Amino acid sequence: MSSILDSPFIVFLVSLIAQWLAAYVGVFLGRRVGVARKDEREDFNTVQTAILTLLALIIGFSFSMAERATTNAKITKKRKPMRSEPNTCVPTCCPPKAQQACVNC
């Protein structure tokens, strides 16, 4: 059984409907409560600024982590063929004691 999250189109539709519903509820409650007083509006602006700043930080760090993960995956992909090669010991660059410890010499 496939998950709903496997289809981008369904996720888009569900998100669009949820956002539309949230906007509708916000407009409905805004009309019902009425206009805020000046002091309430200043407090709201302060809270809104703090929330938007935190949201920007979360989004920024998420992109940073995604970029770092992509870079690490590219580096790992480039290094992977090198790791599959057998270990070889070059006697000219090893000291004499290390040459004896090397199994493939």
pLDDT in tens, 7-65: 889 999 999 999 999 999 999 998 888 887 888 889 999 999 999 999 999 999 999 99
pLDDT in tens, 27-39: 999 888 888 788 8
Decide if pLDDT at 100 tops 50: yes
Tokens of 88: 């070889």
Residue type, 18: A
What are the residue ranges spanned by the domains of the chain?
1-34, 36-105
Q: Which pLDDT value is given to residue 80? A: 57
Distances in whole angstroms, Cα of residue 66 to Cα of each of 9, 61, 63, 73: 23, 8, 5, 11
Tell which wins on pLDDT, 2 or 13: 13
Cα–Cα distance measured from residue 93 to residue 37, given in angstroms and rounded to the nearest whole number:
80
pLDDT band with cut points at 50, 70 and 90 for residue 94 = low
Residue type, 88: T
pLDDT band with cut points at 50, 70 and 90 for residue 105 = very low
Length reported for the chain: 105
Instruction: Give the position of tokens 């999250």.
Output: 5
